[in-house]
């Protein structure tokens, strides 16, 4: 199975250091150009199925890719959402006041009011991977999601503990392409790769 992961393009909230969480997010003009270039990069790859986070910033990014793959089935999946920061979603309060440090908890165990702990998000990542394991092994699958969720999925694929030191901060519109076979290490074609923007 070939897996292609794409993080959404740059958003207004990314630029302004706003914790997006489950808020929609709005692509900047740069984010739209990033998504267009990813679409062009992937247009010659035969994609069988496209899984997309059902948050607006991911859906808007996916549209630029989907237009080249009209025969691929598109599935919008809430399991692919970014971590909810609850009352901090859509605000800069989380970043400016560091409530994790104030709480005395680790980022892993911190659960914002009305939000998710990292453990909660990891359960979603596992659930999505279980869904992928049911797919035919010869499929090529595209996943359009978010930094936190893609990072957790990659940790499972590479068998890195969730609290392991290795972390892949996924860049906006970064592309990861892996070939997965049972009981074998993934073959990496691209890892967190971004395309230089054209003028």
150 pLDDT above the threshold of 70: yes
Active-site option among 8, 22, 69, 146: 8
The radius of gyration of the chain's CA atoms, rounded to the nearest angstrom, is: 16
93 is catalytic: no
Instruction: Average the pLDDT over each of 63-67, 83-87, 167-171 and give the range with the smallest value.
Output: 167-171
Identify whether 199 is part of a domain: no
Give DSSP secondary structure letters for 92-121.
SHHHHH-HHHHHT--TTT---TTS--HHHH
Identify whether 53 is part of a domain: yes
Q: What total number of domains does the chain contain?
A: 1
Identify whether 94 is part of a domain: yes
82 is catalytic: yes
Active-site option among 10, 13, 82, 116: 82
The strand ranges marked E within the chain are: 2-7, 49-53, 73-77, 140-145, 175-179, 187-193
Whichever domain contains 75, its CATH number is 3.40.50.1240
pLDDT above 90 as % of the chain: 70
pTM of the model: 0.91
């Amino acid at each position: 199975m070939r897996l292609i992961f794409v993080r959404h393009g740059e958003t207004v909230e990314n630029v302004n250091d706003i914790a997006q969480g489950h808020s929609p997010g709005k692509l900047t003009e740069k984010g739209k150009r990033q998504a267009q270039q990813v679409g062009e990069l992937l247009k010659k790859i035969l994609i069988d199925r496209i899984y997309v986070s059902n948050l607006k910033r991911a859906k808007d990014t996916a549209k630029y890719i989907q237009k080249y793959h009209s025969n691929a089935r598109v599935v919008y999946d809430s399991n692919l959402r970014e971590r909810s920061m609850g009352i901090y979603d859509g605000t800069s309060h989380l970043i400016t006041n560091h409530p994790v440090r104030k709480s005395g908890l680790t980022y892993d165990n911190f659960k914002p009011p009305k939000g998710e702990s990292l453990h909660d998000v990891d359960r979603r990542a596992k659930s999505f991977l279980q869904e992928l394991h049911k797919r035919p092994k010869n499929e090529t699958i595209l996943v359009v999601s978010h930094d936190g969720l893609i990072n957790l999925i990659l940790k499972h694929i590479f068998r890195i503990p969730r609290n392991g030191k290795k972390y892949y901060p996924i860049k906006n519109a970064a592309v990861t392409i892996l070939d997965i076979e049972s009981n074998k290490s993934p073959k990496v074609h691209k890892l967190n790769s971004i395309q230089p923007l054209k003028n």
